[in-house]
Amino acid sequence: MNRRNALRKTALLAGSAVAAPSLFSLLQSCKQQNRLEWTPQFLNEDQARFISSFVDTLLPRTDTPGALDVKTDIFLDLVFAKTYDTKAQENVVSEINKFNDDCKAGFGKVFADLNEEDKKAVLKKAESETGKFNPSVWGTAVGKQEPVGFYRSLKSMAIWGYFSSEEIGLNHLSYDPVPGEYKGCIPLSDVGNTWSL
Amino acid sequence: MANFNIDAKQDMTYDAIVIGSGISGGWAAKELCENGLKTLVLERGRLVEHVKDYPTMNLDPWDMEYRGSLPPEVRQKHTKGGRSGFIGETNEHFHANDLENPYTEVKPFMWVRAHQIGGRSILWGKQCYRWSDLDFEANAKDGYGVDWPIRYKDLAPWYTHVEKFAGISGETLGLPHLPDSHFLPPMELNCVEKHVKSRIEKEFQGRHMIIGRVAHLTEPLNGRGKCQFRNRCDRGCPYGAYFSSNAVTLPAANATGNLTIRPFSIVQSIIYDEEKGKATGVRIIDAETSEVFEYYAKIIFCNASTLSTTQILLNSTSNRFPNGLGNDSGELGHNLMDHTYRVGAMGKVDGFDDQYYKGRRPNGIYIPRYVNLDEKTKSDKFLRGFGYQGSGGRANWSAGANREDFGGDFKDSLMKPGPWEFFITGFAECLPYHENKVYLDKGNLDKWGQPTLAIDCEFKENEKAMNRQIRIDAKEMLERAGLRDIVDFDNEHEPGYGIHEMGTARMGRDSKTSVLNGNNQVHSCKNVFVTDGACMTSSSCVNPSLTYMALTARAANHAVSELKKNNL
């Protein structure tokens, strides 16, 4: 056990003392963390748990739905299954496994089994270590796009999956399928959130 | 819609045959039909009826199972055209299958094809600019290529003619080298575009920034509805608000009762009658059954798209024309041009955080050419010139991928529009080089047993010098307009990316150095007309489609008048 693990255990104990969760909610959270409630089309159970846990850490529920609420994990599994070629699929699997291996090396557990603080620490580290997307013009990156790394590309896909979902597009962003006109300058307050389309 | 001749063998003879149903073919059909000619339009692809065959026109992202992504087996059909970055689930069905329609890239060349009624008129960018004598005199002045046999005054009334019917929105500017069109009301610039415009025009004497001139209706016209600002054009427009053959010219042609359309008709060759000294018809292969048919007519319009038209002419051999119909000059297949693409700069604009816009405008800004207009603006680095397209807007949630952040606050912040961004990207004229060419590759046959095309084309030093200037100028304009975080770029795309392929059957004054005369007739076979991009003698730096429309209408009316005089 390393020092971080020891600290994490302490924090967990302190947290339970303060929050005093009911037995029911503890069971619920165990269930959410350890068992999939959907059947992946492509990923195995461990990889699917990683994706669910990743999108939940990246885009958790707040006043608005989280990535799990709009099934971003299930959508990404579908995207891997149906729109990736074999080579890209193999790459996803090996990258997820590598990500989990790194978590095990650092924390003794796969990503999905880490506590919230450690998950955040892992993502924070990945943020600093992965490249960025070049800006794009008319759908294509400008300049020479260097590989961005697995974390950045999965993050991008999770954001896409979340914001292109019906719940977010219809009920949280500003949805206007047939604007009927173009007005070049209006107060942002007239619109509120960003246009969904 | 039209009178479809799908299996009727009895109707083999028409007054006119039009090969291809895209932008120029649609115009040829309309003008010929309206002049009373029984016209057969041959289209190699499938039938696409306006509105009825636009299956994705109203889909939101979540209505599509993969939200617009394509499965690998579908992507595989677009290994070439897909390089454009434009092909997704919303429009894949309007792009030709590259596997069934192979071509050879002797040097890299991206060829975007659309095999259906309407062709690429369903997919085009709709930017419309008149050419000027700066363009028509360019070859004569600097000696590249041959002189155009026409000047702006020859085409000006035909520009007006097609603009009134197509519907072009834009703003008059009064520039002699970018003549104003007959305009519908312009679309609006947004706050940041207005800001950048005023800064650039103040900082740079002689430079202008205008709203793009586009074939979108900003007012209803001839029963077509105005643009609803959905920006879903490449799925087909249910309002008929943008110009396409399907929504505009073919319905007009059909209304005359003179139009017959035959889809799935691959023109194998044009039939030349050695005794009569003219073409008598075309030989087609039915794309579905591989049966061969012949159709006959007094005049033939070639509008298959630049390279496909030349492919047909090269494949139309006879004793008189052993190297392709009308190829006495040896120039058929040569002088291929395109515009350079995706060289420019982008940046962020501060100070408009409380401003936004409504509507998804299918249009951007345009910065007309400002170099090599006269002695004062002459460059010592290159010939000809370039213009810029671009636009401004606010970043959305997709910018979140690059932000070094995650979690609940991060997610909620992405619900709000991000910073204002603005970009410009140049389109440079390409000189006509004899060695930029296409030829028949008889060793590579397609599934119908026909020779495919080999494309051997590259940008050379003049185009590269212009791209360097485009990049430098773009960065400087954005800097002096006060943008921050400026990124300048040159993607070094090969030709084809501009999707403005031009030349290979050029117009000219002399049959020894060109394929077509000043009325788009094959010099040595005057009842064959070529009015698509193949006819172009130079490439200008502005988008070519409006000029194809005007040339086609002019040539079609010339053909009718010559027919009446029994000259064809």
| pLDDT, tens digit (0-9, with 9 covering 90-100), for B485-534 | 999 999 999 999 999 999 999 999 999 999 999 999 999 999 999 999 99
Per-residue pLDDT reduced to its tens digit, B370-424: 999 999 999 999 999 999 999 999 999 999 999 999 999 999 999 999 999 999 9
For B211, list phi and psi in degrees, rounded to 5: -70, 145
Cβ partners under 8 Å of residue B275, min gap 6? none
Please report residues of B whose CB lies closer than 8 A to that of A177. Answer: 58, 60, 230
Cβ of B342 and A78 within 8 Å? no
Please report residues of B whose CB lies closer than 8 A to that of A138. Answer: 85-86, 342, 425
Per-residue pLDDT reduced to its tens digit, B129-171: 999 999 999 999 999 999 999 999 999 999 999 999 999 999 9
**B451-456, strands of its sheet edge to edge:** B104-105, B451-456, B437-445
Please report residues of B whose CB lies closer than 8 A to that of A74. Answer: none
Please report residues of A whose CB lies closer than 8 A to that of B417. Answer: 188, 193-195
CA distance B415 to chain A (A): 6
Query: Judging by beta carbons within 10 Å of its beta carbon (0-12, 13-18, 19+), is residue B174 exposed, middle or buried?
Result: exposed
**B525-530, strands of its sheet edge to edge:** B3-4, B259-262, B39-42, B16-19, B299-302, B525-530, B521-522
Instruction: Give the best residue of B57, B65, B66, B67 to mutate against chain A (max A CB count within 10 A).
Output: B67
Q: Check whether B456 has a pLDDT greater than 80.
A: yes
pLDDT, position A24: 43
Dihedral of the alpha carbons of B461, B467, B473, B478, in degrees to the nearest 10: -170
pLDDT, position B6: 52
Over pLDDT 70: what percentage of chain A?
82
Give the pLDDT mean for B3-31. Answer: 85
Minimum CA–CA partner of A153 in chain B: B401
Does A150 contact B at CB distance below 8 Å?
no
If you count residue pairs, one on A and one on B, with CB atoms under 8 Å apart, how many are there? Answer: 187
Furthest-apart CA atoms within chain A: distance in Å = 63
Under the banding of pLDDT at 50, 70 and 90, the label for residue A9 is: very low
Per-residue pLDDT reduced to its tens digit, B222-258: 999 999 999 999 999 999 999 999 999 999 999 999 9
Q: Check whether A37 has a pLDDT greater than 90.
A: no
Whether B155 and B554 have beta carbons less than 8 Å apart is answered as: yes
Half-sphere exposure in the Cβ direction for A35 (13 Å, CA): 6
Q: What is the DSSP letter of B162?
A: H
Alpha carbon of B485 to those of A94, B349, B475, B482: distances in Å?
A: 36, 9, 11, 10
CA distance B375 to chain A (A): 34
Tokens 């299996």: give the residue.
B7
Q: Check whether B220 has a pLDDT greater than 90.
A: yes
B397-426 as b/e, with b when 16 or more CB fall inside 10 Å?
bbbbbbeeebbeebbeebbbbbebbbbbbb
How far apart CA B216 and CA B364 sit, in angstroms, is 12
Q: Check whether A35 has a pLDDT greater than 90.
A: no
CA distance B54 to chain A (A): 17
Q: Mean pLDDT score of chain A, rounded to an integer?
A: 86
pLDDT, position A36: 79
Q: Check whether A8 has a pLDDT greater than 70.
A: no
Q: Check whether B326 has a pLDDT greater than 80.
A: yes
**Closest Cα partner for B116 from B35, B7, B43, B192?**
B43
pTM, full prediction: 0.93
Q: Is the dihedral of CA B219, B222, B228, B229 positive or negative?
A: negative
Minimum CA–CA partner of A168 in chain B: B415
Cβ of A194 and B417 within 8 Å? yes
Per-residue pLDDT reduced to its tens digit, B174-187: 999 999 999 999 99
Give the pLDDT mean for B210-227. Answer: 98
How far apart CA B387 and CA B543 sit, in angstroms, is 10
Per-residue pLDDT reduced to its tens digit, A95-142: 999 999 999 999 999 999 999 999 999 999 999 999 999 998 888 889
Cβ of A186 and B400 within 8 Å? no
pLDDT, position B5: 58
Per-residue pLDDT reduced to its tens digit, B462-479: 999 999 999 999 999 999
Q: What is the DSSP letter of B213?
A: P
Q: Mean pLDDT score of chain B, rounded to an integer?
A: 97
Task: Give the one of A66, A82, A127 whose C-beta lies nearest to B404's C-beta.
Answer: A127
Give the pLDDT mean for B339-344. Answer: 96
Q: Check whether B44 has a pLDDT greater than 70.
A: yes
Please report residues of B whose CB lies closer than 8 A to that of A140. Answer: 84-85, 342, 491
Q: Check whether B71 has a pLDDT greater than 90.
A: yes
pLDDT, position A140: 83
pLDDT, position A138: 85
pLDDT, position B448: 97
Cβ of A82 and B65 within 8 Å? yes
Number of Cβ within a 10 Å radius of residue B141: 12
Please report residues of A whose CB lies closer than 8 A to that of B409. Answer: 62
Cβ of A84 and B72 within 8 Å? yes
How far apart CA B358 and CA B177 sit, in angstroms, is 33
CA distance B544 to chain A (A): 20
pLDDT, position A139: 80
Under the banding of pLDDT at 50, 70 and 90, the label for residue A11 is: very low
Cβ of A62 and B411 within 8 Å? yes
Q: What are the domain boundaries of chain A?
A: 1-7+39-130+147-171
